[in-house]
Structure 1
């Protein structure tokens, strides 16, 4: 359903797509090919710098996610008039990163969609604050995101 969701945003609303990932640059071709194969709209793919040695390649996606925050800050500064919809999951600190962005740029984030990977965290006070104060939407599926985005008139 990701392809359908992103295609609706690009084709029906004219949104630009930017991909920020904890994967390192050595996986760029694979990620781009995956997007094309799955008919997911292409856009700039912002990844971590290459790992210095072969041993660290196997850790791609792990470690600090500070670079995600830095890349999103870069996009917000580079496109000062653009508003953003942030889409991520609960697996690699996206909620915390996106909450920080929402606090710093409250008028620039239209909505946040987080695919819930760990349902046990669904009742945390932090999550309730994100839902109530920051317009976060914790979802279980892409179909749920599509329905919610249509209801919110995002797509």
Structure 2
């Protein structure tokens, strides 16, 4: 099954040269909620980390991929999700933030991505600030000049003081079953995403109790974000920034991308971004045992033991081998600073 899967997906992703879907192409733009920190060079400014993608759909390639995947999983898939992975980025295009007193634009990179940090003054932040979480957030409209392409952006303000929960998504709050390639495909491309029981409720409780900000850190590709947002809204998870990788044509196929270990570097860099850009903020880290979250969190804790208040790792209650593995990975972390859970009901109502 694994070899057939790799072969079919490779055929789909190398088929772009045999068809010209120009007449059917559709351009789009989405922004992934991001985060802002105080600018260390000036107390009157914030540094905002914008992230998003300007793309052009290819319906023919999407249909090929959809039918190939359906042969593998023997299940109907959601074409709207599939087509995001066969779209191509629009490179070197202007993307501008509307509604400010000055022009603020950036260009997409060679993959169509929007990822240049930019600065705003306190006054500009106040023009766009909305309530929500510790410090609130700014919302804005971004558009492609001279095109009828617009979207909403959100940036969550992460100040020096306060509490932030940084949570993995797949198999921590959303059932993905990343240890099975077939189940990963089904749970990614078919039907509604399913939440781990009780996680949304405990997250909402913590958000209210600690006036906390939330950040969602995942190995998933950002092409899934529009559908993850539907999941967050439906299950009523606290809103927050999302930090994801991006699937490109240089990746062999979706499964190889999803299962690759380069997410370890990405997750570590994102955690360090939060820690290095704040001074006294405390962090609670939540992940799962099914990938490398525990290893990543242990490594980060070693460098910032006073800033990491607690680590929670999801595993099955009867997984004795997994528990022993965690005892080894966390051997240098005080036992009271980490715990395991299977559902939200296993997590404490009070952290501190």
> Shared topology, TM-score over 0.5?
yes
Cα distance in 2 between the residues matched to 1:135 and 1:47: 26
Cα RMSD between the aligned structures?
A: 2.3
Name the residue aligned to 1:14. 211
Q: Distance in 2 between matches of 1:49 and 1:74?
A: 18
Higher RCO, 1 or 2 (CA under 8 Å, sep at least 6)?
1
The answer to which of 22-31 and 127-136 deviates more is 127-136
Which protein has the larger Cα radius of gyration, Structure 1 or Structure 2? 2
Match of 1:102 among 301, 304, 308: 301
1:30 aligned onto 2:232: no
How far apart are residue 140 of structure 1 and its match? 2.5
The structure whose residues are more often strand, as a share, is: 2
Secondary structure of 1:113's match?
A: strand
74-83 or 98-107: which moved more?
74-83
Change (3 A) 1:56 1:129: same
- Residue 139 in 1 paired to residue 305 in 2? no
Give the structure-1-normalised TM-score. Answer: 0.85
Equivalent position to 2:324, from 111, 123, 144: 123
Change (3 A) 1:72 1:51: same
Deviations 1:35-54 (A, max 9, x none): 11111111000001333258
Q: Distance in 1 between matches of 2:329 and 2:245?
A: 27
Task: Give structure 1 stretches of 5+ with no counterpart.
Answer: none
Quote the Cα distance in structure 2 between the aligned partners of 1:29 and 1:60: 19
The Cα shift of 1:67 comes to 0.8
Report the CA distance shift for 1:23/1:46 in structure 2 as closer, same or farther (over 3 A): same
Asked if residue 4 in structure 1 is aligned to residue 186 in structure 2, the reply is no
- Gaps spanning 5+ residues in structure 2: where? 1-197
Alignment-derived partner of residue 112 in structure 1: 311
More deviation, 128-137/34-43 = 128-137
Between Structure 1 and Structure 2, the one with more helix by share is 1
Residue 130 and residue 87 in structure 1: after superposition, are their counterparts in 2 closer, same or farther (change >3 A)? farther
Could you say which residue in structure 2 is the equivalent of 1:40?
A: 237
Cα pair 2:215 2:243 within 8 Å, conserved: yes
Q: Aligned residue pairs: how many?
A: 150
User: Offset of 1:81 from its aligned partner?
Assistant: 2.4
Say if 2:289 and 2:322, in contact at 8 Å, map to a contact too.
Answer: no
